[in-house]
């Protein structure tokens, strides 16, 4: 029942954002992106479609941490770097500034 309530809220909300790591192979990540697109959620990207890598934290090369949104525009994406950040997790944080559409 709880999943249906979450889905209903996601479908009805005019503005919504979801964030977190997507540790999936590329086929599963593509499926997830299509499903989220089906309910009107697009991945937050920089102008031109760019994303910031967050994994692994010591030398990030993969953009596994993502924000999906509806009713917002992505203004900036930042990934704090440094030894302290790399020690906290195997992923670096993705800080996204959103503006309502």
Quick: pLDDT tens for 15-71. 888 888 877 777 888 888 888 888 888 889 887 888 899 999 999 999 889 898 999
* Buried-state track 57-88, b at ≥16 Cβ within 10 A, e below 16: beebeebbbbbbbbebebeebebeeeeeebee
Q: Give the per-residue pLDDT at 98.
A: 92
Q: Identify the band that residue 1 occupies on the pLDDT scale cut at 50, 70 and 90.
A: very low
**Average confidence (pLDDT) over 84-89:** 94
pTM score > 0.85 for this model? no
């Amino acid at each position: 029942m709880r999943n249906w309530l979450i889905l209903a809220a996601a479908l009805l909300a005019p503005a919504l954002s979801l964030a977190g790591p997507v540790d999936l192979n590329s086929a599963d990540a593509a499926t997830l992106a299509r499903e989220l697109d089906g309910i009107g959620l697009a991945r937050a990207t920089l102008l031109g479609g760019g994303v910031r890598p967050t994994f692994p934290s010591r030398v990030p090369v993969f953009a596994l941490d993502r924000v999906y949104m509806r009713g917002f525009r992505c203004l900036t994406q930042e990934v704090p770097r440094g030894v302290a950040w790399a020690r906290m997790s195997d992923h670096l944080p993705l800080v996204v500034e959103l503006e309502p559409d």
